[in-house]
Structure 1
């Protein structure tokens, strides 16, 4: 039986910035549109965090029963390590998804955006289908598309729309930016796992690109995400503050390009998550502070 500490580690808390960053950006964009709604923001954050935890447990379960995690470099996997049974981890994923759906229903009720019920259902199905089911798309190299769309575009723009009833250019730029950083985090994770994924038949995008090009794509995604804010400078000059993140991107980029041992890439995951959080906070500040002063 897994200990509480192991369940927390299995939830992969270092990936949670990937979930909360779009909500921060989307809420700031709503504030910029004079449509910020605190309750809606809290509900959106709950949906995002619970979905992320659910995805992590679902991946742990699906990869564990397939043997993908039998030999793994990185954080604890509950099923692969034998700390918890596959059934226990699957139920933990379902519980997280269920709670996310309840929070999502609350968000729909307060925003009256009923069509978002279909979006929410799509999010849950996509979360499970990443590594679950008979033909998981994460094994086909499509996981990066899922992360960009759902943890970038859907999460950010959905947050803005459920508060302001519309979207804006800052919301779109922020959605693309945080989506790219989240995808970069997944790429770093998958580059580390290339040898074991090949052996397990998991054809991630990193496997398809090959080690060198996958590492280069990580750096490119970070660069595009940060430089994209330049499109907002004419109307929101404070967004230049996001460029302060460039020094923070140098170390993980260097590790991705030069790190030979797979274990050397583990810190990149945490660093990329913090970059995403920093990106969201700086961009949000650039959108909110000018309206306060």
Structure 2
């Protein structure tokens, strides 16, 4: 039976900033529109966090029963390491998805936007389908696309919409930016796992691109995400504070390009998660400071 510490480690805390970042940006965009709603923001954050934890457990379960995690380097895999039984991890994932759906329903009721139920259902299906089911899209190289869509566009724009009932240009720019950084985090994880994924028949985008191009794509995604704020600078000059994040990107970018040992890429996951969190904080601060400029 896995200990509480192992369950926490198995939830992959380093990935959680990817859930918080879009909510911060989406909420700041709503604030700029003078339509900030604290309760809705908190509910959106809880739903995002639960979905992230749920997908991490679901991924642990599905990869574990397929044998993909037998030779992993990095965070603890509950099933692959034998710390927990497969059914325990599966039930944990389903329970967390259920709680996320319940809180999401509360958010839908508050906003009276009933069509968001379909979005929520799609998010849960995408979370499970990443490595679960007979034809997991994560094994076909589509995981990066879904991460960009759901942890970038859907999470950010959904947060703004549930507060403001509209979206704005800053929300769209922020959604693309945080989505790219979240995708870069997944790319860093998958570059590290290229040898074992090839062996297991898991054709992630990193496997399809090849080691060199996959590493280069990581750097490109970070660069585009940060430089996108220039679009907003003419009317919101404080948005340029996001560029202060550039020095923080240099070390993980260097490690991605030059780190040849699989273990050398492990710190990149934490660093990228912090970059995403820092990006969202600076992006939100830039919007608040530029308000009424």
Give the TM-score category using the shorter length: over 0.9
2:289 matched to 1:289? yes
Aligned partner of residue 73 in structure 1, secondary structure: coil
Deviant stretches of 4+, over 3 Å: 290-293
Q: Deviations over 1:166-187 (max 9, x none)?
A: 0000000000000000000000
Q: Deviations over 1:146-199 (max 9, x none)?
A: 000000000000000000010000000000000000000000000000000000
Provide the residue aligned with 1:151 in structure 2.
Answer: 151
Provide the residue aligned with 1:231 in structure 2.
Answer: 231
Provide the residue aligned with 1:277 in structure 2.
Answer: 277
2:209 matched to 1:247? no
Structure 1: which 5+ runs fail to align?
A: none
CA contact (8 A) 2:237 2:290 kept: no
Provide the residue aligned with 2:175 in structure 1.
Answer: 175
Provide the residue aligned with 1:18 in structure 2.
Answer: 18
Partner Cα distance (1:16, 1:232) in 2: 27
Q: Deviations over 1:178-222 (max 9, x none)?
A: 000000000000000000000000000000000000000000000
Provide the residue aligned with 1:197 in structure 2.
Answer: 197
Provide the residue aligned with 2:46 in structure 1.
Answer: 46
CA contact (8 A) 2:55 2:127 kept: yes
Provide the residue aligned with 1:221 in structure 2.
Answer: 221
Aligned partner of residue 16 in structure 2, secondary structure: helix
What are the residue-to-residue correspondences of 1:70-149 with 2, within 5 Å?
Answer: 70-149=70-149
Partner Cα distance (1:292, 1:108) in 2: 30
Q: Deviations over 1:60-113 (max 9, x none)?
A: 000000000001111100000000000000000001100100110011011111
CA contact (8 A) 2:239 2:290 kept: no
RMSD (CA atoms): 0.9
2:186 matched to 1:186? yes
Provide the residue aligned with 1:64 in structure 2.
Answer: 64
Partner Cα distance (2:109, 2:291) in 1: 29
Partner Cα distance (1:153, 1:62) in 2: 26
Partner Cα distance (1:113, 1:263) in 2: 46
Partner Cα distance (1:111, 1:280) in 2: 24
Partner Cα distance (1:292, 1:221) in 2: 31
Give the C-alpha shift of residue 117 in structure 1: 0.3
Give the C-alpha shift of residue 292 in structure 1: 8.3
Give the C-alpha shift of residue 288 in structure 1: 1.2
Q: Deviations over 1:11-58 (max 9, x none)?
A: 001100000000000000000011100000000001100000000000
Provide the residue aligned with 2:3 in structure 1.
Answer: 3
Partner Cα distance (2:18, 2:257) in 1: 22
* TM-score, normalisation: structure 2: 0.99
Aligned residues: 293
Give the C-alpha shift of residue 291 in structure 1: 3.5
Structure 2: which 5+ runs fail to align?
A: none
